[in-house]
A and B are shown apart, each in its own frame.
Chain A
Amino acid sequence: MIEIHKHIENNYLLITVEGEADASSSIHLDSNIKESIEENHKIILVDCTNLNYISSAGLGVFMSHIAEIEEKEINFILFGLSEKVQNVFNMLGLDQLLTIKSNKEEILAEI
C-alpha cells in the first residue's frame, strides 16, 4: 500500500510518499509524479520519510522521469530516505542522477 499527498508550500510542491512502493502501488506513484511535472512546478520535493520499501518497479518510476526533469530544469529533490531505501537508490546508481538530501531543512537552507 502507498499513500501520496501533494501540498503546495511557499514556492515549491511537496509530495509525501508513505508506505511501500511495489509493482502495483508504483503505478499510483508514477501518475502523481507525472502530474506534478506537467503542472510545471519549478521545485518539487519528495518526502520519503515514511517510505518503508521500494522495489525495482518503484525505482523505475523515478528513473523514467529523470530525462524530463532535466529537460524542464526542475529542481527535483528527494529527502528523508531510510537507510534501506537509500541503499537501494545507491546500488542502482540513482543517487548520481537524482538529488537526495537528508532532510527538508537542508534543502530549504539551499533554496
Chain B
Amino acid sequence: MNFKPTNKMILRLTMVMGILLWVALTFVNGLQVFDEIYEVNMGISKQLPMLLLDLCFISFIVYYRIKINKVESSNFVDLLWRVFAIGLVTTVISLASELFYSTIADTALAGHWLTNTLFYNINFGLVSVFLISTFTVWKKLVLYQKSRRLVIYWNVFEGLLMACIFFNFTGFTLEESVFFQLLFGVLALLALVLSANLKWVAYLNFKQKWKSILLILLISIYLIYFFRLIYTPESDSLRFLNSIDNLFIVILFTFLLVYSIFSFLVILFNLPTSSVFEQKLEEAINFQRLSQSIQQGENENQIFDILLKSSMSAVYADAGWVEIDKLNGEPLLRTKNISRVNLNETKRHIKQGKHKHLLKTPLDKASDEDRILVNFKKSNFRSALIVPLVVQNKIAGQMYLLKEVSDGFNSEMINIINTFSSQAAISVENFRLLGDALENERYKEELNIAKSVQRALIPKTLDHDEHFDIHAFTEAAAEVGGDYYDTFKLEAHKFAIVIGDVSGNGTSAAFHMSQMKGIFQSLAQLDLSAEEFMIKANSALSKCLEKKSFITLSYFIINTLDRTIEFSRAGHCPTLYYSKKNKKAEYLQSKGLGLGILRNEKYASFVSVNKITFAKDDIVVLYTDGISEATNSMKDEFGYDRMQNLLDQNAHYDPIMIQKIFIGKLYEFCGNEDLNDDYTMVVIKFK
C-alpha cells in the first residue's frame, strides 16, 4: 500500500513526539540528578538526555516549519502576531510556574532537586518552543523577495544551525572551548549579515508599521526575559543543566535578537517616509484603475471621474474639475470639492491670473495642448494646474486642479498628472473605438438587411412562354447595387422585359433601383408602347431621382405571336443580338437618352423605338456596363468585341449555358481584380 503522510498528520505526529521526548527528557534528567545527589550509579548514559533534547528540538522545528508555512507570506503583521501570541502563552506559563514555585517556597518541596529539575525543564521546553517558532517566522521574513545569493547564505546558516543541535555531544562550553567561541562567532556574523534582509518592511503601510513595532518590541522583551531565565550563573546551576552552553540555543537567541533589533530600528526609521510609499502605491493602483476602466464596462464620465480623483489625490489638490467639450451646447463638467459658482469664479481668476506659466508638452507642437500653471491671489485658491485631455489627437477637454497654497505643483506632480491624463485619454480612445466598432457592426447588419430586401426585388421567375427561353444573372460589387432587370406579361403573347443601371453604385443606387422597379411594375400594367413607357418613366423619375443621378434602361416588348421585338434604349449599353440566319452577333444601334437626364417634356423628342422580327434560335443578350467595361490588371476592358465573339462561338448553347460561359470568361479575364461594378445579364433564346 502506498502510504503518503499528509501535512496534518506530520503536524500531529511531530507535536506528540516533541511532547513525549520532552517528558522523557524531564524523566531522564530527574534520574540523572537523583543519581548525582545520592550517588547511586544507575548507569544512565550521559548521551541519552542529549539525544532526547536534540530530537525534541528537531520535532519542534519540523512542527513549526509546516505550521508557519501555511500562513500567507505577505501578511507580515499576522506572522508577527503569531510569534507574539506564542511568546505570550509561553511567558504566561513560565510566569505561572514561577508563581507556583514561589507559593511553595516555604514547603519542603522548595529547593528540592525534583522540583528544581521539573521547573528547569518546563522553562527550557517553553523557551525552545518560543525560539523555534520565532526562528521559523524570522526565516520567512528574511527570505521575503529572496535572491539566489540570499538563499545560498540562508541555507549555509540554517545548515550550520541544524548541525549545531548536535554540538552538545562534544561537551564543549562557551567559556572554555575556543572552538565553541569560533563557531559561535561565525554563525553570529552570518546572522548579522542575514539580518540586513528587511525588504518586507517596505510593504507595510503606516498602521501596519506601528503594529509591527509594537509586536517586535514585545517579542524582544520575551526574548530577553527568556534569556535571563535560562542564563543562570555557573555557580547556581547544576552543571549539566546549564543551557547557555547549548550552542544551538545561544545562536538562536543571538540571531532572533539581532533581527528583532534590526527590524525594530528599520521600521522605526521608515515611519516618516511610509506615507510617500503609500502614495506611490496608490498612484500605481489608480493608474491601473484608469487602464482597466474599459473592461469594467464603465463609460467616459466614469473614466474622467477616476482621472480627477486619482489626480487630485496624487498632487494633494484641494479641488478640481474636468471639463469636456461637447460638439453642441455646454461642456460637460465633472467636479470635486467645488461648487458651480465657485468654479466660474475660479475660472475667471485663472483667466486674469498674471503668473501664468506655460509648460510645453514634449509630444506636440500645438499651443492648445500646453499645460498651464497659474498662481493667483484674490481667490480662495492660490495655484492651479490646467491639463488638456487629448483624445485621438484632438483636445477633448481640460482638467483643472486647484490648491489653496501658491506654487503647489512641482514637476514631479506634473509628470504624474501627465501620465494619468494620457492614460485616461487612451482609455477614452479605446472606449470610443469600441463604440465605433459596435456602430460599424450595426451598419453592417443594416446593410445585410438592405441586401436581403434588394434580393427580394429581383424577380424569382421570369415571364415567358413556349416561344423563348430566358435566363438572368446579377451580382453587386457592394452589399447592394444599382442594376435592375425585370419582366412582365403584358398579354397572352406579349412580354415586357427591362434591364437598367442606376448611375453610381452602393446604397443610393440601390434606392433608385427600387424606385425603378416600382415604376416598371406600375407602368407595365398599362400595356404602353415602348415610347410611351420611356416618356412616362422619365417623367416619374424626374420627380424622385437625385439631381446628379440618372438611370439607363433598355425596354423590350416581345410579341411571340407576331414574332417581333419592339425596343427602346434610354442611354443603356447596346443590346447584343445574334441572328441565326446571318450566323453573326451584332449590336442593335439606336438613339436614346438616359432617364432623368432631361427632366422635362423635351425628353419625348429623344426617345426612339425600333422594331425587329426574330427567328428560331436567335439570341438576345442584355447586359450592364459592369460586364462590357470590366477591366483587368492591365486596364484593358472586357469590351464589345470580346462579347460579340463569345456569342458567335457559343450561340448553339441554351441561355443558361451562354450566361455561364460569359461570366466564366469575364472572371477569367479580370483575374484577381476585385469586382468594381455591379454586373447583370439577361439571355433570351427564341424557339
| A60 and chain B: residue at smallest CB distance | B548
Asked if B505 is an interface residue, CB under 8 A from chain A, the answer is yes
Contact with A56, one of B503, B592, B606 (Cβ below 8 angstroms): B503
CB–CB A94/B504 < 8 A: no
CB neighbors of B among A40-86 (8 A): 55-57, 59-61, 63-64, 66-67
In the bound complex, CA of A96 to CA of B602 (Å): 12
In the bound complex, CA of A56 to CA of B501 (Å): 10
Q: A60-B550, A64-B547 are in contact. Are A23 and B574 (CB under 8 A)?
A: no
Interface residues of B, dominant DSSP: loop
| B608 and chain A: residue at smallest CB distance | A93
Asked if A18 is an interface residue, CB under 8 A from chain B, the answer is no
CB–CB B504/A96 < 8 A: no
Pick the most buried of B547, B570, B572: most chain A CB atoms within 10 A of its CB: B547
Asked if B598 is an interface residue, CB under 8 A from chain A, the answer is yes
CB distance from B157 to the nearest CB of A (A): 78
CB–CB A60/B504 < 8 A: yes
Asked if B573 is an interface residue, CB under 8 A from chain A, the answer is yes
CB neighbors of A among B550-589 (8 A): 550, 552, 570-574
CB distance from B231 to the nearest CB of A (A): 97
CB–CB B504/A67 < 8 A: no
CB–CB A97/B548 < 8 A: no
Asked if A91 is an interface residue, CB under 8 A from chain B, the answer is yes
Q: A57-B503, A60-B504 are in contact. Are A97 and B550 (CB under 8 A)?
A: no
B570: chain A residues within 8 A (beta carbon): 93
In the bound complex, CA of A84 to CA of B552 (Å): 18
CB–CB A63/B574 < 8 A: no
Encoded as 1 (CB less than 8 Å from any B CB) or 0, chain A from 83 to 107 comes to 0000000011110110000000000
CB–CB A96/B505 < 8 A: no
In the bound complex, CA of A96 to CA of B625 (Å): 20
CB–CB B606/A64 < 8 A: no
CB–CB A93/B571 < 8 A: yes
Contact with B548, one of A30, A67, A94 (Cβ below 8 angstroms): A30
In the bound complex, CA of A97 to CA of B596 (Å): 13
CB distance from B619 to the nearest CB of A (A): 22
Interface residues of A, dominant DSSP: helix
Contact with B571, one of A23, A66, A91 (Cβ below 8 angstroms): A91
In the bound complex, CA of A69 to CA of B108 (Å): 137
Asked if B591 is an interface residue, CB under 8 A from chain A, the answer is yes
Asked if B197 is an interface residue, CB under 8 A from chain A, the answer is no
CB–CB B597/A94 < 8 A: yes
CB–CB B547/A97 < 8 A: no
CB–CB B597/A66 < 8 A: yes
Pick the most buried of A23, A59, A97: most chain B CB atoms within 10 A of its CB: A59
CB–CB A63/B597 < 8 A: yes
A93: chain B residues within 8 A (beta carbon): 570-571, 591-594, 597, 606
Asked if B349 is an interface residue, CB under 8 A from chain A, the answer is no
| B637 and chain A: residue at smallest CB distance | A84
In the bound complex, CA of A91 to CA of B589 (Å): 10
A55: chain B residues within 8 A (beta carbon): 504
Contact with B599, one of A61, A67, A96 (Cβ below 8 angstroms): A67
What are 5 pairs between A and B in contact, CB < 8 Å? A66-B597, A93-B571, A93-B606, A94-B594, A96-B606
Binding site for A on B (CB under 8 A): 501, 503-505, 547-550, 552, 570-574, 591-594, 597-599, 606, 625
Closest 8 CB pairs of A and B: A93-B593, A56-B503, A60-B548, A92-B571, A64-B548, A92-B594, A57-B504, A64-B547
- A63-B597, A94-B597, A96-B593 known, 9 other contacts, Cβ within 8 Å: A57-B504, A61-B548, A66-B598, A91-B552, A91-B572, A92-B597, A93-B571, A93-B606, A97-B593
